[in-house]
Every structure is written in structure tokens, then in C-alpha cells.
Amino acid sequence: MKIPPDLLPEGFRDRLPPQAEVAARVSRAMIDVLTSYGYARVAPAIAEFESALAERSGGAARNQHLRFTDPVSGHTLALRGDITVQVGRIATTRMQESPRPLRLCYHGQVLRLKAKQLRPERELTQLGAELIGNDSVAAACEIVGVAIDALEAAGVKDITIDFTLPDLVERLAEKALPLAPDKIDAVRSELDMKDAGGLSVLGADAYLPLLAATGPFDAAVEKLRAIDAGGALASRIQALESIAATVAGRANVTLDPTERHGFEYQSWFGFTIFAKGYSAALGRGGTYYIDRADGPSEAATGFSLYPDPLIDLAEESNVQRLFLPLGTDAATGAKLRSEGWVTVAALDENDSAAVLGCTHIWINGQAVTV
């Protein structure tokens, strides 16, 4: 089949004016928040050796890289699908001697091998912050707070944060609510679907109350406390309450202790961010471990946002474009630009302010509305 000329591959798109400008503005606003909290920016490479990238990626992401053969090395290269793993690599290799906790942030494009039916894009913007060397409650509080600040800076309102305990089932299955090791996966999968009937069929009735311990945080955490088997969860519940207290009033907090969508590699704490008007999650974060070749793995806390939906729905900023008619001298133009105007200079007498989308014209030393 002949490829139609000038069409992009499925899942890729160009951003045109003013959307491209909006994208830069929204991203800048969020990055400024991250840097203001002391997160230093890193810009990892867009491609890496596939084997190294896959080894550091957890779960399904491992096979989701767009790959090609490097004519230089003869090895397979992969285009990055998640910047978090690259930041982990940087932190534990070239920056391994940097003092901990190490605060890093990033922004860039990531690529997917295949689009999901629900999200047809194969090129996504990813933006986030990682706090390396600490996965305490204090670290989680800071990360959740920074994530909310960043979204607010991008103009997002009515934020909902959903807390989860990614390793909950393993922890309970150990002792409190014993499960055969071969059943853990099946139980987690039924908990994922919130399928009460399926759990009963598996003989995991003891896990049923977990399904009810979801919803608005205060009520849900009480239910979780009520089923706290033998105190195995007491410290976790206390930690969740401290984190919830720091975001109180800034976001709705919900709890879903068994949620594990996108939490393949998180350890004790995870959160997902939703906001009114967006049908899918805007981002997620939590605590995790970064493997080190030279020693024990290192704890970390962080979050990633996928701001493309924000950019698509963001208000276009009200730009005032000033038309400079033929013959306007260069110094006048420079002065007006330094005052904050966007100037559009006429190149010949056929150019017109209206056609070029200008809001004002420079006439007799004054900006006149078109």
C-alpha cells in the first residue's frame, strides 16, 4: 500500500498556533512550580539501548517501546516511553554521589509502541518530579503538595486525589489474611474489577470488605481501620491520614486501597490525580525503589503528569497583536516589543492588519483597535 503523502503515522499530530503556544505556556507554568520547590531540571536522552531501558521499566511498559536498530552500535535502540525510569538511571549512576534527598524534575515527549483504544495518541507529554533517597510520609506529603500546586498553576480546578496502597494485598496475604501464593494474582485482578462475586468464587471472602473501603477518604479510612487485620495496617493508615491532612481543603481526597492501575512498580503509597472536566486520570505518583547495580535499591517518591488534555482544553491567552504599517522605523518596533506588544511588521503595501490577525494598528504614534 502506498503511504499517503504528508499524513502523519497513526497517533502522532502537529500542534498548530495557538495550541503550540498554549502547550509551552502550560508546561512552563508547571515546571516553574517544580523548580520553585528546589527540584533541579534534567533532560534525559530521547533514545537509549533497548535492553537497558527495558530492564529498568516495570510490568507491561517493558514491551511498549518503539524500537529500531542502531546502525552505529548494531544494538537495538528504544525511544523512551517513560522519563521516570531515565531519571532513576541518572540518579543512581552519574548523580549517585550527589547528596540525598536528591530532587529532580523533567519535561519531555514520550512515545508508545501502540496506542490504547482509549488514548489514541502515541506521542505524549510527560512532566514530573522525583525525590530520590526518601520514601517517608514527609516525602509523600511534599510530592502530593507539589503535584497539586503544579496543576493549579496550569489552571486546573476541582482536583480529586485518589490514594492507594499498592502492596496491600501482598502484605495482608503474608499473615493477616492468608492466601495461597498462586491465588494472589487472581485475587488482585478481581479486586481491580471490584468484582465481589469473583472474590467469593476464589474463596477470598476475607478480602470483600476492602471493596467497601473505597470512596471519600474519611469514611473509607474508618472502614479500612475496622478491617485492619491484626494491626498489620495501623502504620499505613496513620501515614495516609497525615498525607490527607496536608491536602485538606485543596483537593477532594478519596481512598481506594486496592487500586493498582498504573502502579506496577510502586511500594507502600500511590496516588492518582483526577479533575473535573477530564474523563481520564491526569497523572499519578507514589513511592518506589530504584535498582542499583552496585548495592541495595534506593527508595524514592515522585509523580508524573500527562498534561496533553490540559493543553487541549486550556484557554487561549488573549494576545494583543500590533500591526506595524510599512515605513514604521525599527526603533519604534523595538520599543513597542519591549513594552510587551507582539508586533507584526508589514513587508509590502498588500499586507493588512485584519488578514494577519492583528488586534491593533500603529497609526500616528498610537495603537488603534482594528
Task: Please select the residue that binds other proteins; options are 73, 117, 317, 369, rule is CB under 8 A.
Answer: 117
- Asked whether residue 55 is marked as a ligand-binding residue, the answer is no
Question: Which of 49/278 has CB closer to other proteins?
Answer: 278
The site string for other proteins over 181-200 (x = CB under 8 A, - otherwise) reads ------------xxxxxx--
Task: Please select the residue that binds other proteins; options are 279, 318, 338, 366, rule is CB under 8 A.
Answer: 279
Question: Which of 159/299 has CB closer to other proteins?
Answer: 159
- Asked whether residue 112 is marked as a ligand-binding residue, the answer is yes
Name the minimum Å distance from CB 281 to other proteins.
Answer: 7
Task: Please select the residue that binds other proteins; options are 1, 16, 118, 354, rule is CB under 8 A.
Answer: 118
Question: Which of 103/260 has CB closer to other proteins?
Answer: 260
Task: Please select the residue that binds other proteins; options are 48, 50, 256, 308, rule is CB under 8 A.
Answer: 256
- Asked whether residue 56 is marked as a ligand-binding residue, the answer is no
Rounded CA separation 121/109 (Å): 12
Task: Please select the residue that binds other proteins; options are 211, 237, 345, 367, rule is CB under 8 A.
Answer: 211
Task: Please select the residue that binds other proteins; options are 96, 98, 160, 267, rule is CB under 8 A.
Answer: 160
- Name the β-bridge partners of 102: 132
Rounded CA separation 370/368 (Å): 6
Task: Please select the residue that binds other proteins; options are 215, 334, 352, 368, rule is CB under 8 A.
Answer: 215
Name the minimum Å distance from CB 162 to other proteins.
Answer: 5
Name the minimum Å distance from CB 116 to other proteins.
Answer: 8
- Asked whether residue 32 is marked as a ligand-binding residue, the answer is no
- Asked whether residue 332 is marked as a ligand-binding residue, the answer is no
Q: Any contact of residue 157 with other proteins (CB under 8 A)?
A: no
Q: How many residues bind other proteins, per CB under 8 A?
A: 27
The site string for other proteins over 36-65 (x = CB under 8 A, - otherwise) reads ------------------------------
Listed ranges 133-141, 236-244, 249-257, 360-368: which one lies at the site for other proteins (CB under 8 A): 249-257
Q: Exposure string (b/e) for 94-122, b if CB count within 10 Å is 16 or more?
A: ebbeeeebbbbbbbbebbbeeeeeeeebb
- Asked whether residue 236 is marked as a ligand-binding residue, the answer is no
Residue ranges of the annotated binding site are 82-84, 112, 126, 130
Residue ranges of the annotated binding site for L-histidine are 82-84, 112, 126, 130
Contact residues: other proteins, CB under 8 A = 116-118, 160, 162, 193-198, 211-212, 214-216, 252, 254, 256, 261, 272, 274, 276, 278-281
